Amino acid sequence: MNILVTGASGQLGSTLRALTITNQEGLNFVYKSSAELDITDFESVHQELTLNDYAYCINCAAFTNVDKAESDTDLARLVNITGARNLALGCNENQTILIHISTDFVFDGYLNEPYHEEAIARPIGFYGDTKYKGERAIINNLQEYFILRTSWLYSEFGNNFMKTMIRLGNERDELSVVYDQIGTPTYAKDLATVILYIIKAHSIDYGVYNYSNEGVASWYDFAKAIFDGQGIEIDLKPIRSEEYPTPAERPKFSVLDKAKIKDTFHLSIPHWKDSLAIALKAYSKIEA
Protein backbone atom coordinates (compact mmCIF):
# COMPACT_ATOMS: atom_id res chain seq x y z
CA MET A 1 0.00 0.00 0.00
CA ASN A 2 1.55 3.29 -1.13
CA ILE A 3 1.08 6.34 1.10
CA LEU A 4 2.07 9.86 0.05
CA VAL A 5 3.17 12.35 2.72
CA THR A 6 3.25 15.97 1.57
CA GLY A 7 5.12 18.71 3.43
CA ALA A 8 7.53 16.04 4.58
CA SER A 9 10.21 18.42 5.86
CA GLY A 10 7.92 20.04 8.46
CA GLN A 11 7.63 18.87 12.03
CA LEU A 12 4.69 16.49 11.53
CA GLY A 13 6.15 15.10 8.31
CA SER A 14 9.51 14.61 10.05
CA THR A 15 7.76 12.92 12.96
CA LEU A 16 5.93 10.54 10.63
CA ARG A 17 9.18 9.73 8.86
CA ALA A 18 10.87 8.91 12.17
CA LEU A 19 7.94 6.69 13.18
CA THR A 20 7.85 4.79 9.89
CA ILE A 21 11.59 4.23 9.47
CA THR A 22 11.10 0.62 10.61
CA ASN A 23 8.95 -1.94 8.78
CA GLN A 24 5.31 -0.87 8.63
CA GLU A 25 3.62 -4.15 7.65
CA GLY A 26 3.36 -3.61 3.91
CA LEU A 27 2.92 0.17 4.05
CA ASN A 28 5.20 2.04 1.67
CA PHE A 29 5.56 5.70 2.67
CA VAL A 30 6.69 8.19 0.05
CA TYR A 31 7.82 11.49 1.56
CA LYS A 32 7.72 14.65 -0.53
CA SER A 33 8.88 18.01 0.76
CA SER A 34 7.27 21.19 -0.52
CA ALA A 35 10.24 21.61 -2.86
CA GLU A 36 9.70 18.11 -4.25
CA LEU A 37 5.91 18.39 -4.59
CA ASP A 38 4.25 21.79 -4.76
CA ILE A 39 0.63 21.21 -3.74
CA THR A 40 -0.32 24.63 -5.14
CA ASP A 41 0.42 23.28 -8.65
CA PHE A 42 -2.51 21.08 -9.65
CA GLU A 43 -0.69 19.41 -12.55
CA SER A 44 2.13 18.31 -10.25
CA VAL A 45 -0.35 16.95 -7.71
CA HIS A 46 -2.40 15.20 -10.38
CA GLN A 47 0.66 13.58 -11.95
CA GLU A 48 2.04 12.38 -8.61
CA LEU A 49 -1.24 10.81 -7.55
CA THR A 50 -2.05 9.34 -10.95
CA LEU A 51 1.31 7.67 -11.56
CA ASN A 52 1.87 6.08 -8.16
CA ASP A 53 -1.39 4.43 -7.10
CA TYR A 54 -1.52 5.93 -3.61
CA ALA A 55 -4.08 4.48 -1.20
CA TYR A 56 -3.64 7.44 1.16
CA CYS A 57 -2.30 10.97 1.05
CA ILE A 58 -1.33 12.55 4.37
CA ASN A 59 -1.22 16.30 3.86
CA CYS A 60 1.30 17.87 6.24
CA ALA A 61 1.96 20.80 3.91
CA ALA A 62 0.63 24.11 5.23
CA PHE A 63 1.39 27.77 5.73
CA THR A 64 1.50 27.78 9.53
CA ASN A 65 3.13 31.12 10.41
CA VAL A 66 0.11 32.69 12.11
CA ASP A 67 1.47 36.25 12.23
CA LYS A 68 3.06 36.22 8.78
CA ALA A 69 -0.25 35.07 7.29
CA GLU A 70 -1.69 38.49 8.13
CA SER A 71 0.71 40.14 5.66
CA ASP A 72 1.59 37.35 3.22
CA THR A 73 -2.06 36.66 2.46
CA ASP A 74 -1.55 35.46 -1.10
CA LEU A 75 0.84 32.69 -0.12
CA ALA A 76 -1.22 31.63 2.90
CA ARG A 77 -4.32 31.44 0.70
CA LEU A 78 -2.47 29.57 -2.04
CA VAL A 79 -1.04 26.87 0.23
CA ASN A 80 -3.88 26.42 2.70
CA ILE A 81 -6.86 26.74 0.35
CA THR A 82 -5.72 26.10 -3.22
CA GLY A 83 -3.31 23.38 -2.10
CA ALA A 84 -6.02 21.61 -0.13
CA ARG A 85 -8.42 21.83 -3.08
CA ASN A 86 -5.80 20.46 -5.48
CA LEU A 87 -5.19 17.47 -3.24
CA ALA A 88 -8.92 16.85 -2.85
CA LEU A 89 -9.48 16.93 -6.61
CA GLY A 90 -6.48 14.70 -7.28
CA CYS A 91 -7.48 12.23 -4.57
CA ASN A 92 -11.03 12.14 -5.90
CA GLU A 93 -9.83 11.25 -9.39
CA ASN A 94 -7.55 8.49 -8.12
CA GLN A 95 -9.61 6.96 -5.29
CA THR A 96 -7.01 8.10 -2.77
CA ILE A 97 -8.07 8.71 0.83
CA LEU A 98 -6.93 12.12 2.09
CA ILE A 99 -5.82 12.73 5.67
CA HIS A 100 -5.58 16.48 6.17
CA ILE A 101 -4.33 18.40 9.19
CA SER A 102 -6.26 21.46 10.34
CA THR A 103 -6.25 23.65 13.43
CA ASP A 104 -8.05 24.91 16.54
CA PHE A 105 -7.61 28.40 15.04
CA VAL A 106 -10.76 27.83 12.96
CA PHE A 107 -12.59 28.82 16.17
CA ASP A 108 -12.84 32.33 17.61
CA GLY A 109 -12.21 31.28 21.22
CA TYR A 110 -15.30 32.95 22.69
CA LEU A 111 -17.18 29.76 23.59
CA ASN A 112 -15.36 29.08 26.88
CA GLU A 113 -16.09 25.38 26.68
CA PRO A 114 -14.37 22.67 24.61
CA TYR A 115 -15.17 22.93 20.91
CA HIS A 116 -16.73 19.87 19.29
CA GLU A 117 -16.52 19.19 15.57
CA GLU A 118 -19.94 20.68 14.78
CA ALA A 119 -19.30 23.95 16.62
CA ILE A 120 -19.50 27.02 14.41
CA ALA A 121 -16.13 27.84 12.87
CA ARG A 122 -15.52 31.56 13.10
CA PRO A 123 -11.81 32.31 12.60
CA ILE A 124 -10.51 35.64 13.92
CA GLY A 125 -7.22 35.61 11.98
CA PHE A 126 -6.25 35.11 8.35
CA TYR A 127 -4.39 31.86 9.08
CA GLY A 128 -7.46 30.30 10.69
CA ASP A 129 -9.65 31.59 7.88
CA THR A 130 -7.49 29.94 5.20
CA LYS A 131 -7.36 26.67 7.14
CA TYR A 132 -11.15 26.60 7.48
CA LYS A 133 -11.63 27.37 3.80
CA GLY A 134 -9.15 24.59 3.04
CA GLU A 135 -11.34 22.22 5.03
CA ARG A 136 -14.39 23.30 3.02
CA ALA A 137 -12.49 22.81 -0.26
CA ILE A 138 -11.84 19.21 0.76
CA ILE A 139 -15.38 18.53 1.98
CA ASN A 140 -16.87 19.98 -1.22
CA ASN A 141 -14.64 17.97 -3.58
CA LEU A 142 -14.03 14.63 -1.88
CA GLN A 143 -15.99 12.02 0.05
CA GLU A 144 -13.19 9.86 1.44
CA TYR A 145 -11.26 12.13 3.80
CA PHE A 146 -10.21 12.55 7.41
CA ILE A 147 -9.70 16.13 8.58
CA LEU A 148 -7.87 16.20 11.90
CA ARG A 149 -8.04 19.49 13.78
CA THR A 150 -5.21 19.78 16.27
CA SER A 151 -3.75 22.44 18.57
CA TRP A 152 -0.44 23.87 19.76
CA LEU A 153 1.62 21.27 17.90
CA TYR A 154 5.21 20.76 19.01
CA SER A 155 7.97 18.16 18.74
CA GLU A 156 11.72 17.69 18.69
CA PHE A 157 11.57 18.52 14.95
CA GLY A 158 11.03 21.79 13.09
CA ASN A 159 10.15 25.14 14.62
CA ASN A 160 7.75 25.19 17.55
CA PHE A 161 7.02 26.64 20.97
CA MET A 162 8.89 24.00 22.95
CA LYS A 163 12.13 24.49 21.07
CA THR A 164 11.76 28.28 21.13
CA MET A 165 11.28 28.28 24.91
CA ILE A 166 14.35 26.09 25.42
CA ARG A 167 16.44 28.42 23.28
CA LEU A 168 15.18 31.56 25.02
CA GLY A 169 15.54 29.94 28.43
CA ASN A 170 19.20 29.33 27.71
CA GLU A 171 19.71 32.89 26.47
CA ARG A 172 17.81 35.01 29.00
CA ASP A 173 17.38 35.49 32.73
CA GLU A 174 13.70 36.40 32.51
CA LEU A 175 10.83 35.93 30.07
CA SER A 176 7.20 37.01 29.83
CA VAL A 177 4.57 34.64 28.41
CA VAL A 178 0.82 35.17 28.05
CA TYR A 179 -1.44 33.40 30.53
CA ASP A 180 -4.88 34.33 29.14
CA GLN A 181 -4.83 32.13 26.02
CA ILE A 182 -6.01 28.64 26.91
CA GLY A 183 -5.69 25.46 24.86
CA THR A 184 -3.91 22.11 24.81
CA PRO A 185 -0.32 21.38 23.72
CA THR A 186 -0.16 18.43 21.32
CA TYR A 187 2.93 16.28 20.80
CA ALA A 188 3.33 15.62 17.07
CA LYS A 189 4.32 12.00 17.77
CA ASP A 190 0.93 11.36 19.37
CA LEU A 191 -0.88 12.86 16.39
CA ALA A 192 1.28 10.88 13.96
CA THR A 193 0.53 7.68 15.88
CA VAL A 194 -3.21 8.30 15.51
CA ILE A 195 -2.81 8.92 11.77
CA LEU A 196 -1.03 5.58 11.40
CA TYR A 197 -3.71 3.89 13.51
CA ILE A 198 -6.47 5.19 11.22
CA ILE A 199 -4.63 3.88 8.16
CA LYS A 200 -3.88 0.47 9.64
CA ALA A 201 -7.49 0.12 10.81
CA HIS A 202 -8.70 0.66 7.20
CA SER A 203 -11.36 2.93 8.67
CA ILE A 204 -14.18 4.25 6.54
CA ASP A 205 -15.49 6.53 9.30
CA TYR A 206 -14.65 9.59 7.24
CA GLY A 207 -15.17 13.14 8.42
CA VAL A 208 -13.83 15.91 10.65
CA TYR A 209 -12.20 14.99 13.96
CA ASN A 210 -10.58 16.90 16.79
CA TYR A 211 -7.31 15.58 18.18
CA SER A 212 -5.06 17.06 20.84
CA ASN A 213 -3.49 15.71 23.98
CA GLU A 214 -5.60 15.61 27.13
CA GLY A 215 -5.64 18.43 29.65
CA VAL A 216 -5.72 22.21 29.49
CA ALA A 217 -2.97 24.84 29.74
CA SER A 218 -2.12 28.45 29.10
CA TRP A 219 0.99 29.33 27.12
CA TYR A 220 2.48 30.37 30.48
CA ASP A 221 1.71 26.92 31.95
CA PHE A 222 3.23 25.26 28.90
CA ALA A 223 6.38 27.37 29.12
CA LYS A 224 6.78 26.68 32.85
CA ALA A 225 6.44 22.93 32.29
CA ILE A 226 9.12 23.11 29.58
CA PHE A 227 11.54 25.00 31.81
CA ASP A 228 10.87 22.70 34.76
CA GLY A 229 11.37 19.64 32.58
CA GLN A 230 14.67 20.96 31.24
CA GLY A 231 15.90 22.21 34.60
CA ILE A 232 16.14 25.76 33.26
CA GLU A 233 16.07 28.45 35.94
CA ILE A 234 14.43 31.59 34.63
CA ASP A 235 12.23 34.37 35.98
CA LEU A 236 9.02 33.54 34.10
CA LYS A 237 6.39 36.28 34.24
CA PRO A 238 2.70 35.80 33.28
CA ILE A 239 1.29 38.63 31.16
CA ARG A 240 -1.97 39.41 29.36
CA SER A 241 -2.24 39.21 25.58
CA GLU A 242 -2.58 43.00 25.38
CA GLU A 243 0.92 43.30 26.85
CA TYR A 244 2.36 41.22 24.00
CA PRO A 245 0.70 42.52 20.82
CA THR A 246 1.05 40.39 17.70
CA PRO A 247 -0.09 40.95 14.08
CA ALA A 248 -2.63 38.12 14.42
CA GLU A 249 -5.21 37.83 17.17
CA ARG A 250 -5.30 34.41 18.84
CA PRO A 251 -8.32 32.56 20.23
CA LYS A 252 -8.51 33.08 24.01
CA PHE A 253 -9.94 29.56 24.53
CA SER A 254 -9.45 26.81 21.94
CA VAL A 255 -9.64 23.55 23.90
CA LEU A 256 -10.92 20.77 21.62
CA ASP A 257 -13.56 18.21 22.57
CA LYS A 258 -12.10 14.82 21.58
CA ALA A 259 -15.07 12.57 22.39
CA LYS A 260 -15.74 11.76 18.72
CA ILE A 261 -12.26 10.50 17.85
CA LYS A 262 -11.96 8.60 21.16
CA ASP A 263 -15.31 6.90 20.70
CA THR A 264 -14.84 6.13 16.99
CA PHE A 265 -11.34 4.68 17.25
CA HIS A 266 -11.37 3.58 20.91
CA LEU A 267 -8.38 5.74 21.71
CA SER A 268 -6.69 6.50 24.98
CA ILE A 269 -5.07 9.93 24.62
CA PRO A 270 -2.03 10.89 26.75
CA HIS A 271 -2.06 13.97 28.98
CA TRP A 272 0.00 16.82 27.59
CA LYS A 273 2.38 16.85 30.55
CA ASP A 274 3.20 13.16 30.09
CA SER A 275 3.82 13.65 26.38
CA LEU A 276 5.93 16.74 27.03
CA ALA A 277 8.24 14.68 29.24
CA ILE A 278 8.73 12.22 26.39
CA ALA A 279 9.30 15.04 23.88
CA LEU A 280 11.91 16.70 26.09
CA LYS A 281 13.82 13.43 26.40
CA ALA A 282 13.72 12.97 22.61
CA TYR A 283 14.91 16.56 22.11
CA SER A 284 17.76 16.14 24.59
CA LYS A 285 18.83 12.96 22.84
CA ILE A 286 18.99 14.73 19.48
CA GLU A 287 20.87 17.71 20.94
CA ALA A 288 23.36 15.58 22.91
Geometric angle at alpha carbon 38, from 36 and 39, rounded to 5°: 135
127 is an active site residue = yes
CA 223 – CA 167 distance, rounded (Å):
12
Is residue 269 within 8 Å of 190, Cβ to Cβ?
yes
Catalytic residue among 127, 179, 209, 283: 127
The CA-based diameter of the chain, rounded to the nearest angstrom, is 56
- Cα–Cα separations (whole angstroms), residue 52 to 191, 275, 276: 26, 35, 37
Over its C-alpha atoms, the chain yields an Rg (Å, rounded) of 19
Geometric angle at alpha carbon 183, from 237 and 179, rounded to 5°: 15
Q: How many residues does the chain have?
A: 288
Residue-wise burial string across 176-197, b where 16 or more C-beta atoms lie within 10 A, e elsewhere:
ebbbbbbbbbbbbbbbbbbbbe
* Residues tagged active-site: 127
